Chain A
Amino acid sequence: MAQVLTITSGKGGVGKTTLTANLGVALAVQGQRVVIIDADVGLRNLDVMMGLENRIVYDLVDVIEGRCRLRQAMVRDRRVSELFLLPAAQTRDKSAVQPQDMVRICDDLQEQHDFILIDSPAGIEQGFRYAIAPADEIIIVTNPEVPAMRDADRVIGLIEAEGKGPARLVINRIKPEMVRRGEMLDIADVIELLAVDLVGIVPEDEGILTAANRGQPIAFSKDGSLVRQAFHNIASRLRGKDVPFLTLREKSVFERIFRFMRSGGN
C-alpha cells in the first residue's frame, strides 16, 4: 500500500516543486517505489525540474478523460530504478480535474508503489482541493518570512477543517547567516507560531538553482552538501526513521572569540 503525500504551501514560490522533485528522487534512491504527480494543471513545472520534459506524451488530464491508460502517461525516470512522473496538462486549467479523479488515480497506483507524492498548485482553490483529496498526509512548505508563514497558517487551518490534519511542516530556504544576525525568523519561532510538527529544514543553496537549470535534482548528487542531506533526511523521516535535524546555525567569528574570552582563554 502506497503512502499518499501532498506537498502544498498556500503561497507560491516557496519551493513546493523543488521539494517534491527532491523528495521523489531521495525516496527512490533509498530504494522506494515512487510516483510523483504534478497537480498544477495549466502551469506544468515538475517535468522541467526533473529534466523529463522531452519525454512527455500523455498527461494527467488525458488519463482522467480516458485518452490513455494511466501507465501510458507515467514517465519513467531512468536514472533510478523505481521513479515515475505523472505530468500535469499544460494547455488545460484546474477545472479539468475533480477531487474524485485524484482519489481514483491514487487508488490505481496504491498496489505497485510505496510513495505517491502530489505537487499541489499554490493557492487554496480547486487545484489545492483536488491535490489534497487523496492525501494520507500533507506536508506544508514554508519560508521563514511573514507572507509565506501567514499563508501556511491559513492552509494548516483548512487542512484541519477537512479532517486531513495534522499537517507536517518543512521550513525551506533558511539562511543561517541571517538567522544568526537576528534578521530572519529561526526554526523555533516558526514552530511556535504555526504550532505544527516539523519534518524537515532546508537551507538556502545556490545549488538548487543550478540543479534546476540542468534538470538534475540535487538529491541525485553524490556531493556532501547540506541541502542534499536535508532532502534525504526528510525522505528518511517519511519512511518512519528517526533522523536528527541538521544544525544550520553557523557560529560567527565574533561569537567564537567571545566564547573563547569568556572561557578565560582555555
Chain B
Amino acid sequence: MQTLAQLLGRRHKSSSGKVAKERLRLVLAHDRANIPPGLLDTLKDEIIAVISRHIAIDADDVQVTFSQNAQESRLVADIPLATKNRRRKR
C-alpha cells in the first residue's frame, strides 16, 4: 500500500513546476537587487584575494551567495579557513 501510495501520490522531485519556482526565486532576487549573477563571481575572487593576504583560506570552497526574502536581502560569504591554519600557533 505504501509503495502504491508513493507511486500515485508522489510529486516528482524534479517536476518542472518546482524547478521553475527555484529558478524564479533566484532570478527575481538578482533582478530586484540589481546584482547580476556574474558579479558574485567577481566579488568572490576579490574577497579571496583580500583575505588570502592575511589568512590562509581554502579558496576552492569559498562561496558567495545572495539571498532575499520579504524582510531583507543578504550577501553571504562562506569562507573556510585552510585546515593547517586551524591549529593554534605558538
Contacts and interface: CB of A to CB of B under 8 A. Distances in A.
A185 B17 contact: yes
Interface stretch (B8-16, B45-53, B59-67): B8-16
A146 B27 CA distance: 9
A178 B16 CA distance: 10
B31 interface: yes
Nearest to A157: B32
A210 B67 CA distance: 44
Contacts, number: 58
Determine the interface band of chain B, counting residues with CB < 8 A from chain A.
20 to 34
A182 B11 contact: yes
A238 to B, nearest CB: 26
Interface in B10-46: 11-12, 15-18, 20-21, 23-25, 27-28, 31-32
B31 A154 contact: yes
A150 B31 contact: yes
Interface in A210-266: 254-255, 257-258, 261-262
Determine the interface band of chain A, counting residues with CB < 8 A from chain B.
20 to 34
Main secondary structure, interface of A, reads: helix
A150 B27 contact: yes
A145 interface: yes
14 contacts: A146-B20, A150-B27, A157-B32, A182-B16, A184-B16, A184-B17, A185-B24, A189-B17, A193-B21, A193-B24, A193-B28, A258-B5, A261-B1, A261-B5
Q: Return the 7 tightest CB-CB contacts between A and B, nearest first.
A: A182-B15, A254-B8, A182-B11, A182-B17, A258-B8, A183-B16, A189-B21
Given A183-B16, A185-B24, 6 more contacts: A149-B28, A182-B18, A255-B9, A258-B5, A261-B4, A261-B5
